[in-house]
Amino acid sequence: LMEFFTQEQEQVTMEALTLLLKFPRNTLVADCKKMLKAGLMIQVLEYLEEDYHDPFPEKNPAWLAVTHCLNIIGALKAKEALPEVLDLLRNDEFTLEYFFGDFPDYSLTPTLFALCQDDPRPLINYLHEPFKYYFNRIHASDTLAQIALHHPEHREVIIEGFRSLWEKCLDPKQSA
């Protein structure tokens, strides 16, 4: 899997996808989780080498591997990979910009939706985590809005999650 995803290809062919889906699900998900972590490490190493600000990360095979892995994790509804997916959001804005540019809605948001549509609480909990990179929360918020729209049974939990977040933000003793 590592070799497949590090080939420089923007589109996964149907033949390649059929071959990938012959892997046992556990193996495929475990490899995708490793690729998400490896992609982040490669990005960090490039940053340390000051190659990070290259506006065309296409030369880095990890760039597409992260997107392909997210799509597979979402297609398989591999909820066990949610911690690794949320780790992408816990990074700074430049990391998300590096991997997704202007198009996180094409892979990141649908993957979050697939993993959290049955239980939105992990995304709500993520929104309540204290960290300084607020912009990345947009993707979780957008996903929660979509879950509330398509799964009305979760609306009350999601509304309460946003309500408590607002209250936390407005409380001068706390920060969100």
Provide the pLDDT for residue 38. 76
Write out residues in the chain with pLDDT < 70, as ranges: 1-12, 40-63, 132, 174-176
The 10s digit of each residue's pLDDT in 129-154 is 887 677 888 899 999 999 999 999 99
Provide the pLDDT for residue 81. 97
Helices (H), the chain: 2-5, 14-20, 25-48, 61-75, 82-89, 93-100, 108-116, 121-128, 137-150, 155-170
Close Cβ partners of 64 (under 8 Å, ≥ 6 residues apart)? 5, 8, 9, 10, 58
d(CA 156, CA 151): 11
Q: Which residue has the tokens 């993520």?
A: 126
Cβ atoms within 10 Å, residue 173: 5
Cβ atoms 117, 151 nearer than 8 A:
yes
Judged by phi (left if over 0) then psi (alpha if -120 to 50, else beta), residue 101 lies in left
The 10s digit of each residue's pLDDT in 42-55 is 655 555 455 545 54
Provide the pLDDT for residue 50. 53
Rg (CA), the chain: 17
Cβ atoms 98, 53 nearer than 8 A:
no
Read off the tokens for 57. Answer: 């990360």
105-119 residues labelled b (16+ CB within 10 A) or e (exposed) = eebbbbbbbbbbeee
Provide the pLDDT for residue 145. 97
Read off the tokens for 34. Answer: 């490793």
